[in-house]
């Protein structure tokens, strides 16, 4: 049976061979004193690759590197190919060997360091990756790449304060390109503080997040949370209302919270008005149950069912709504003329794997709400 890499080695070998031939052609065309040697050693290494013996191939290529200084770029390319096909241990070996050489140009060395840092990051050796990315910050040519890598390390480690410090230190004063990212890191710190009951710290982090002027909905979401846990329900409602107005795609997150705030205030009239006017339906089970309970108590079950039908027609089905409507059909609470169309919609949703959220940046689908897209790295992109 073919191994999982059987289809990868021919592509790697071909790319490496073509790279060598192109480098040799360019060297001749540019009048270089020494052509890149696409010699017997290289063909021997390529043969090892094609026969799925990558470690022997690496030994050959490293020997060839010792012979010809102009093969550095080819080895960098090979290491990158190994990493992209999941062979990070082999990529690491090539890049470590390159860095150990004393006759590399400064740019070649920085390139090899950057590649090795990516190797370490890929396999989870975050301390080593952090050290190399930090070293690269001193290079003008690699500062942007190094900063992105370093911040990714801090993000993996949940070292939010370090990530903020790195971005604030190296961003240009006249270009707040990292404002949204920094604001979300402050929000991460605020969430940690909220969980441990340190409301003063949480408030400080959220003020810092707002000072970034990044216009993210998460700040008002958390300011509402902070005021709610401190029993200032009117203020909590103020922040959640502002979030709904400015970030409508996040409004479903606070439906249950707004209901709780009105219930704590005992303001039944305001609650009824909100339930009738707001078109958002919670997408998680607990919030939906709370919303449905409030609808039933405030409007009565028949009116609640009619309102849910209206919401479905306007915004589609979510998981909790689907489960509720299926039970309503079983209880014969849905009219015959509605039932058939509704069953088709429910079946269609079942086939869609119950996706609740999609990243607008890359199309990544998920059943749960995340502030950060793990696929494309964008913040607050799930709708």
301-339, pLDDT tens digit by residue? 888 777 777 776 655 556 676 676 667 666 667 666 666
Half-sphere exposure of 116 (CA within 13 A, CB side): 22
pLDDT tens digits along 67-110: 455 678 877 888 887 888 888 998 998 899 889 888 888 999 99
Alpha-carbon span 163 to 114, nearest angstrom = 19
- Residue 248 has phi, psi (to 5 degrees) of -60, -30
Residue where the block lists tokens 């190994």: 82
Distance CA 94, CA 88 (A): 10
pLDDT in tens, 160-183: 999 999 998 887 654 567 899 999
Question: From residue 342, how far is each of 138, 302, 316 by CA, in Å?
Answer: 61, 17, 11
pTM assigned to the model: 0.78
The kind and range of the H/E element at 341 are helix 336-351
Q: What is the mean pLDDT of residues 378-382?
A: 91
Instruction: Collapse the DSSP code of 358 into the 3-class scheme (helix H, G, I; strand E, B; otherwise coil) and give the result.
Output: strand
CA distance readout (Å), 297 to 75, 158, 305: 70, 43, 12
> For helices 40-50 and 8-29, what crossing angle results, to 10°?
160
């Amino acid at each position: 049976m073919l191994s999982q890499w059987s289809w990868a080695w021919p592509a790697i070998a071909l790319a490496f061979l073509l790279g060598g031939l192109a480098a040799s052609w360019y060297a001749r065309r540019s009048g270089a004193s020494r052509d890149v040697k696409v010699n017997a050693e290289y063909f021997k290494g390529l043969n090892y690759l094609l026969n799925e013996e990558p470690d022997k191939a690496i030994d050959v290529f490293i020997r060839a590197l010792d012979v010809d200084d102009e093969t550095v770029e080819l080895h960098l390319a090979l290491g990158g190919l190994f990493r992209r096909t999941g062979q990070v241990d082999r990529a690491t070996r090539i890049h470590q060997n390159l860095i150990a050489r004393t006759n590399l140009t400064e740019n070649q060395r920085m390139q090899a360091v950057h590649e090795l840092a990516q190797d370490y990051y890929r396999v989870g050796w975050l301390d080593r990756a952090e050290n190399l990315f930090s070293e690269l910050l001193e290079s003008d040519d690699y500062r942007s790449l190094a900063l992105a890598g370093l911040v990714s390390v801090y993000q993996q480690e949940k070292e939010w304060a370090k990530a903020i410090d790195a971005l604030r230190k190296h961003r240009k004063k006249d270009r707040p390109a990292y404002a949204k990212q920094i604001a979300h890191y402050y929000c991460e710190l605020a969430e940690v503080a909220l969980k441990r009951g340190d409301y003063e710290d949480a408030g400080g982090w959220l003020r810092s997040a707002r000072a970034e002027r990044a216009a993210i909905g998460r700040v008002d979401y958390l300011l509402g949370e902070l005021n709610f846990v401190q029993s200032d329900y009117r203020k909590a409602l103020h922040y959640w209302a502002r979030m709904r107005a400015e970030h409508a795609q996040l409004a479903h997150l606070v439906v249950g919270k707004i209901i709780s705030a009105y219930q704590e205030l005992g303001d039944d009239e305001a609650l009824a008005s909100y339930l009738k006017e707001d078109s958002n339906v919670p997408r998680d089970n607990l919030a939906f149950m709370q919303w449905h309970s409030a609808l039933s108590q405030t409007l009565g079950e028949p009116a609640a069912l009619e309102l849910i039908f209206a919401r479905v027609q306007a915004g589609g089905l979510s998981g909790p709504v689907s489960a509720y409507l299926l039970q309503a059909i079983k209880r014969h609470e849905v009219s015959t003329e509605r039932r058939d169309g509704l069953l088709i919609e429910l079946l269609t949703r079942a086939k869609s794997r119950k996706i609740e959220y999609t990243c607008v940046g890359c199309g990544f689908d998920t059943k749960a709400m995340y502030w950060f897209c793990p696929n494309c790295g964008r913040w607050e992109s799930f709708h």
